[in-house]
Amino acid sequence: MKLFNNMVTHFGFVDKQDFMHSFIHLKLLQITIPVAAISAFFEQYFGLKALTIFAFVLLLTIELLSGFWASKIKHGTLAIASNPLKRFGFKLLAWLIMIFILNSFKLQWEDTNLVIYTAFDWLYSLMIIYISFEYLISVIENIEVISGKSDKTLVQALRKKLRFLLGLGEATKTNDYE
């Protein structure tokens, strides 16, 4: 133990207890353990890494808050009604169920059939991208309302470009946003 104590003091700690308090923050364990468990759960069952979860939660938070703000501007009052929150929660639950199913199917075929695995991997990636675009477009719509430019020009231009990229229609330049 004396060797360990000497070693930690060499690196700027008072003693081994000072090192342990710095190494394991007991007060933060109430936060870090649940966050780690949630991250592990989402990575295991939904295939989402911690940074992706963080970005997704950030996007959802921005969408929800900007939606409240846009609603306040549109209707004159901030009415955090249970119906929009229920709709938000139900849509989120539906997205998570679809991600879970696609990730489960993808993992089922990972080692046995490369063609099926690749198909489900592609569908999984497509679903993640689609969900992200849905919430990004919602944030842009909310920002348009908040900024007073709610003619949906930018959103229409984005949808038109996306349809063109997916081969679902032609892209023609009709405004400055394209």
> For residue 176, is pLDDT > 50?
no
What pLDDT, in 10s, does the model give residues 44-100? 777 777 788 888 889 988 988 888 888 777 777 666 665 667 777 888 888 889 989
Q: Which of 93, 91, 121 is nearest to 106 (CA)?
A: 121
User: b or e along 112-138 (b: 16 or more beta carbons within 10 Å of the residue's beta carbon)?
Assistant: eeeeebeebbebbeebbeebeeebebb
CA 154 centroid distance within chain: 22
Cβ(92)–Cβ(60) below 8 Å: yes
| Burial of 100 (C-beta count, 10 Å sphere; 0-12/13-18/19+) | middle
Structure token pair of residue 50: 């911690």
Share of the chain above pLDDT 70, in %: 87
Whole-structure pTM value: 0.63
Q: What is the pLDDT of residue 151?
A: 65
Mean pLDDT computed over 117-133 = 87
Count Cα neighbours of 92 within 13 Å in the Cβ-side half-sphere. Answer: 13
The CA R_g of the chain, rounded to the nearest whole Å, is 24
Q: What is the pLDDT of residue 136?
A: 85
